[in-house]
Amino acid sequence: QVQLVESGGGLVRPGGSLSLTCVVSGIDIGRYAMAWYRQTPGKQREPVATITSVGANTYIPDAMEGRVSISRDNAKNTLYLQMNGLKPEDAGVYYCNLRANQYYWGQGTQVTVSS
């Protein structure tokens, strides 16, 4: 059974930083692209950052460019997201996504940006 478990969310002040971690079990992530998504109430889940299977390429939306970095450690079956310069509009539930024969999702971790 494939499981994705996110951690690292929490409350941070505007301008602050957070590091999210996603530990995957039940599948070797080394063959698959992965991503982080964010969802806010009333909106569709949207990609925050994507990384190819061996980490050679990453894709960051313009709104997050320069403030977000995605990385992975295939040996640890783990995906990371480093977020800096957080803004209130960055708040939401962050989900880890594995793009294998189907899309797998974690349960999400809440990020709140508020003073």
pLDDT tens digits, 81-115: 999 999 999 999 999 999 999 999 999 999 999 99
Tokens of 109: 């971790």
Over the chain, what is the mean pLDDT? Answer: 95
**CA dist list (Å): 31 to 38, 54, 60, 107, 115:** 23, 8, 20, 22, 40
Please determine, for residue 55, whether its predicted confidence score (pLDDT) is greater than 90: no
Average pLDDT on 22-49 reads 96
Closest CA to 99 of 65, 51, 45, 58: 51
User: Tell me, what's the pLDDT at 50?
Assistant: 97
Please determine, for residue 56, whether its predicted confidence score (pLDDT) is greater than 90: no
Closest CA to 18 of 89, 112, 98: 112
